[in-house]
Amino acid sequence: MEEPQHRIRAAYSESTITVYQAYSPEIGLPAVRDGRFPTAWKRDRMTWIKPSFLWMMYRCGWGTKTGQETVLAVEISRDGFEWALRNACLSSYVRGVHPDRATWQRQLRRAPTRVQWDPERDLRLQPLPYRSLQLGLSGEAARRYADEWTVSIRDVTPLTHSLHARVSRGELDSAVRLLPQELPYPAGEEHLAHLLE
């Protein structure tokens, strides 16, 4: 079956969804230890969460980029995630989705969350012909994410390094078996209609 151009793919349960972020050890390790983001984590800054594990690997270079050495799997409530989708605006103007550029700019200024659709990645981190969601949280959304939605925070850096080593050796079949199982997320029309490019 052919993949749709835009789809949220994620590991999720009945009540939670897992998103990924990468931080320096100074932020990532206390977050894992305490199950919440430390005071060094700035709640007034935009933070981007990614339901796609391989897109996160592309972004952080398998946990090798400076300031992104600790890769976190953050389990958050689906209610929170869906609130973020409902209150999001596309991060760029799209003719046909927005009446005009000025309307989009007004929506963007008011929206606590923004959406980008970026090419999904394969195990070699090459772009695929369909897109996955990135969700930017600011203001109220970032505070809710850190203080209300977060259920657990796990350090998946060892998994990241193990996968990278297998991919580097060309052991793609064994690498695939280690990947988090991501399925199409059942986001209804009410969550995504205003966010499709």
Q: Are the C-beta atoms of residues 125 and 143 closer than 8 Å to each other?
A: no
Residue indicated by tokens 């195990």: 123
Q: Are the C-beta atoms of residues 163 and 178 closer than 8 Å to each other?
A: yes
pLDDT confidence of residue 197? 55
Q: Strands across the sheet with 70-77, in order?
A: 16-23, 70-77, 150-155
Helix ranges (H only) for 119-171 are 140-144, 157-168
pLDDT tens digit sequence for 17-41: 999 999 999 999 999 999 999 999 9
Q: Which residues of 12-32 are buried (b: 16+ CB within 10 A; e: fewer)?
A: beeebbbbbbbbeeebbbbbb
Length of the chain: 197
In the structure, what pLDDT confidence band is assigned to residue 2 with cuts at 50, 70 and 90? confident
pLDDT tens digit sequence for 142-184: 999 999 999 999 999 999 999 999 999 999 999 999 999 999 9
In the structure, what pLDDT confidence band is assigned to residue 190 with cuts at 50, 70 and 90? low
Which residues are paired to 133 by β-bridges? 117
Residue 157: CB atoms within 10 Å: 20
**For strand 88-90 and strand 113-121, is the pairing parallel, antiparallel, or unpaired?**
parallel
pLDDT confidence of residue 194? 72
pLDDT tens digit sequence for 73-126: 999 999 999 999 999 998 877 777 777 788 788 887 899 999 999 999 999 999
Tokens of 175: 């690498």
In the structure, what pLDDT confidence band is assigned to residue 127 with cuts at 50, 70 and 90? very high
Element of type H or E holding 72:
strand 70-77
Q: Phi then psi for 61, rounded to 5 degrees?
A: 60, 45
Whether the predicted pLDDT of 14 surpasses 60: yes
What's the pTM value of the predicted model, to 2 decimals?
Answer: 0.93
Which residues are paired to 95 by β-bridges? 98
Tokens of 32: 């894992």
Q: Which of 158, 119, 146 is nearest to 42 (CA)?
A: 146
Q: Are the C-beta atoms of residues 152 and 76 closer than 8 Å to each other?
A: no
Q: Which of 125, 115, 2 is nearest to 56 (CA)?
A: 125
pLDDT confidence of residue 102? 84
Whether the predicted pLDDT of 139 surpasses 90: yes
The span from the CA of 186 to the CA of 7, in Å, is 10
